[in-house]
Chain A
Amino acid sequence: MLTTYTISVFTTNTIGLLNRITIIFTRRRLNIECLTVSETERKGVSRFTIVIRNENREIVEKLVRQIRKITDVLAVFGYLDDEIVFNEIALFKIATPLGSPALDVKTINLDWNAKVVHWGLDYVVVEKNGSEEEINEFYAYLKQWEILEYIKSGRVAVGKTEKGLVEYLPEGNWEIV
């Protein structure tokens, strides 16, 4: 059975590190579902959130160890979905020319927990946060209108422990941003 794994990689902020990490996946023919890179609350520490699906937990464990081996990597964690709080964000650009069915903003707001973030002349942009599943369901609902563009971010995730980032990092003077 395919299981979703979220791999959080904490690194020093170094040029080329993204490449060093992704070639580990490429070499093992593992497909990255989505990838998000951002700075953390600690100066000089970047965070990669990588989602992969695999049937074999062992392969994922080996992958995590290979990533950990990279010299500029500070810490790596592989999570199952129930071990993290995670979310994605999607933007939908929907055509609203004269004569098209009216957008049901109330339903979008209340039932779907989404919102219109931009009103164009003949279109609107709707933003929806949630899990991939929720976003897919929302996509299906929006199909009754013409969807001009759809984009979804990679996953962002934090572990469901009480620990802060610093406790995962090697001992050091991690200045807060």
Chain B
Amino acid sequence: MGKTQIEATQPTTTQSSNFKTGAQAVMQSLVEQGVSTIFGYPGGAIMPTYDALFDYRDQLKHILVRHEQGAGHAAQGYARMLNKAGVCLVTSGPGATNLITPIADAMLDSTPLVCIVGQVKANLLGTDAFQECDVIGMSMPITKWNYQIVDPNEIPEIIAKAFYIAETGRPGPVLIEITRSAQAEMMSIPFKYQKCESIISYKPRLEPKEEHVEAAAKLINGAKRPYILAGHGVLISQAENELKEFVEKTGIPVATTLLGMSAMDADHPLFVGWPGMHGNYGANVLTNSCDVLIAIGMRFDDRITGDLSTYAKQAKVVHIEVDPSEIDKNVKADAPVVGDAKAALKALLPLVKKADHTEWRAEFKKYDDEEYEKITKKDLYHEGNQIKMGEAVALLSDKTKGEAVVVTDVGQHQMITNRYYRFKKHNSIVTSGGAGTMGFALPASFGAKVAVPEREVIAVIGDGGFQMTLQELGTIAQSGLPVKIIILNNNFLGMVRQWQSMFFDNRYSFVELQNPDFITIAKGFGIEGHTVSDRNNLGESLDTLLNSKKPYLLEIICEKEENVFPMVPAGACVTKVMLE
């Protein structure tokens, strides 16, 4: 960011020397931690580190984004795919403040990030120096841990600690701020990197307590109408197989949360969809009919529970969660199990009885049928040439056999994507759930593609959100990675328009967009693309997108004023599902 003063070259040592500058120590630490990729953007206060990076460019792949927010979201996409920390490297002041949104997003969605940010020289701290900002203060409420380094000797230990904290327990973002002086100075002790394995004040409990598991098993075994809500924790702990084994043994229907999508095969007979504001009819309504509600790695977000005073009051609640502060936070747990989802499911499996629950499962079917008649059918099979978002996603799902990594932005298209993409492969959704960050998808899809280049990665984005981070088309083009981008364009900030239509008397207050020619923009960045507006050409267009060996942008012109249903209005009881 901005200009920097030219200074005399720092004394450099060779990489092999045990005495390193702070900047070299940062690089060597990242290498020894096993980091291969950094998303970053240089600037004044981080320049010594970028200078050291030049010598490490063969060992550390640095990806130059176009805006620090892009670095953050790309690192999130990367982290979500690999279940390890995404690394960002940015400068002080505005470089760091531009990272604030992704950090907050990562905090809410339990995504491990290690953000290394520059800071002015130690002697300038607190003087309102050029590009000085209190980033430690600003990031405190939205990081799992943060730390300011002024002494280069601390660098290896702090970086090791940062990765340990970011990746273990309930993952989250960590920020390390390093003064320019600490980057430039020589360490006075020989460099030594040791991965962190424990911290006295931080002991995440992974293995659940035996008595908690037994109490949970007892409730589950006694249940006549048990119901599972599986969340992001299942993906994070890679417990998908354990979950499958568990539900197949117990015959319990399972819904996955927005972030837990793809934890279950969408075509599994026990999969009943997703709960929440735009979730499935039965998955919402039957929350208030089950007798035991088993929450696994989820946090009862208000978008899921609606009105807490009427939420699952009839049910005994088993809550499996790695973060103890989530227990009893929103919904009281009768049988709390603090621990990692995988470990808890493994422990529970031998204790639960085989069951079938045929009648109970049939109740979901009844609601499904009604939802299909009232919503799905209209979304997928309709008259006219205009394209509905639902059919576009459903067709995408068919054409990719449900095996792509789908990255969504925030809004109507996000809900529609989760509704109509039939996930067949684990860990295949990347979306901004807790924070609801528009502009998330484009950089996050790029980060995901960097992490899993062998998988098809498709970003589904609205026309509003796309314009928040579209500069990252430049990053994608420069990398050449074939990220597939779909804009579902309805010329509106669709979700806000829907609310204005439903709850604000049709008063459309600043939601209509005059959009640019997205294809021309893409081409300006060197990315091919085309627009489709006739539903007869939709299949062919998707084929072009999917067959491209390069990044590709498909703009789908959708019906302008389509509303997303089902919908549980904010704060309403989960049984008050609107179907139209």
- Residues of A in contact with B (beta carbons under 8 Å apart): 11-12, 15-16, 19-20, 23, 27, 58, 61-62, 65-66, 68-69, 71-74, 170, 172
Contact = CB atoms under 8 A, between A and B. Distances in A.
Interface string B198-213: 0111110000000000
A11 to B, nearest CB: 7
A16 B201 contact: no
20 contacts: A15-B148, A16-B140, A16-B148, A20-B140, A23-B140, A27-B141, A58-B328, A62-B325, A65-B324, A65-B325, A65-B329, A69-B325, A71-B144, A71-B145, A71-B202, A72-B201, A73-B201, A74-B200, A74-B201, A170-B201
A19 B134 CA distance: 13
Contacts of B141: 23, 27
A167 B140 CA distance: 29
Contacts of B165: 71
Contacts of A61: 328
Given A16-B140, A71-B165, A170-B200, 9 more contacts: A16-B136, A16-B148, A61-B328, A62-B328, A65-B325, A66-B325, A68-B324, A72-B201, A74-B201
Given A62-B325, A62-B328, A71-B145, A170 B140 contact: no
B323 interface: yes
Interface of B: 136-137, 140-141, 144-146, 148, 165, 199-203, 323-325, 327-329
Contacts of A74: 200-201
Contacts of A170: 200-201, 203
A38 to B, nearest CB: 18
A30 to B, nearest CB: 15
A66 B324 CA distance: 9
Nearest to B146: A16
A61 B336 CA distance: 15
A12 B145 CA distance: 13
B204 to A, nearest CB: 10
Nearest to B174: A71
Contact of A68 (B136, B137, B144, B325): B325
Nearest to B136: A16
A69 B323 contact: yes
A73 B136 CA distance: 18
Contacts of A73: 201
A45 B136 CA distance: 22
A174 B303 CA distance: 45
Contacts of A11: 201
B92 to A, nearest CB: 17
Nearest to B137: A19
A12 B200 contact: yes
A68 B204 CA distance: 11
A15 B146 CA distance: 11
A100 to B, nearest CB: 47
A62 B329 contact: yes
Nearest to A16: B136
A170 B200 CA distance: 7
Contacts of B323: 69
Contacts of B201: 11-12, 71-74, 170
A98 B199 CA distance: 63
Contacts of B328: 58, 61-62
Nearest to A75: B201
The CB with the most chain B CB atoms within 10 A, among A11, A19, A71, A73, is that of A71
A172 to B, nearest CB: 5
Contacts of A62: 325, 328-329
A19 B140 contact: yes
A50 to B, nearest CB: 17
A58 B329 CA distance: 9
Contacts of A68: 324-325
A16 B148 CA distance: 10
Nearest to A173: B200
A135 to B, nearest CB: 34
Nearest to B202: A71
Closest A-B pairs by Cβ, 8 of them? A65-B325, A71-B145, A69-B325, A71-B202, A74-B201, A172-B200, A72-B201, A23-B141
Nearest to A19: B140
Contacts of B145: 71-72
Contacts of A12: 200-201
A74 B202 CA distance: 7
A62 B137 CA distance: 23
A62 B202 CA distance: 18
Contacts of A23: 140-141
A27 B329 CA distance: 15
Nearest to A69: B325
A16 B139 CA distance: 12
B385 to A, nearest CB: 50
A170 to B, nearest CB: 5
A98 B141 CA distance: 56
Nearest to B199: A71
B31 to A, nearest CB: 25
A19 B146 CA distance: 12
A20 B141 CA distance: 7
A72 B165 CA distance: 11
A23 B202 CA distance: 20
The CB with the most chain A CB atoms within 10 A, among B148, B324, B325, is that of B325
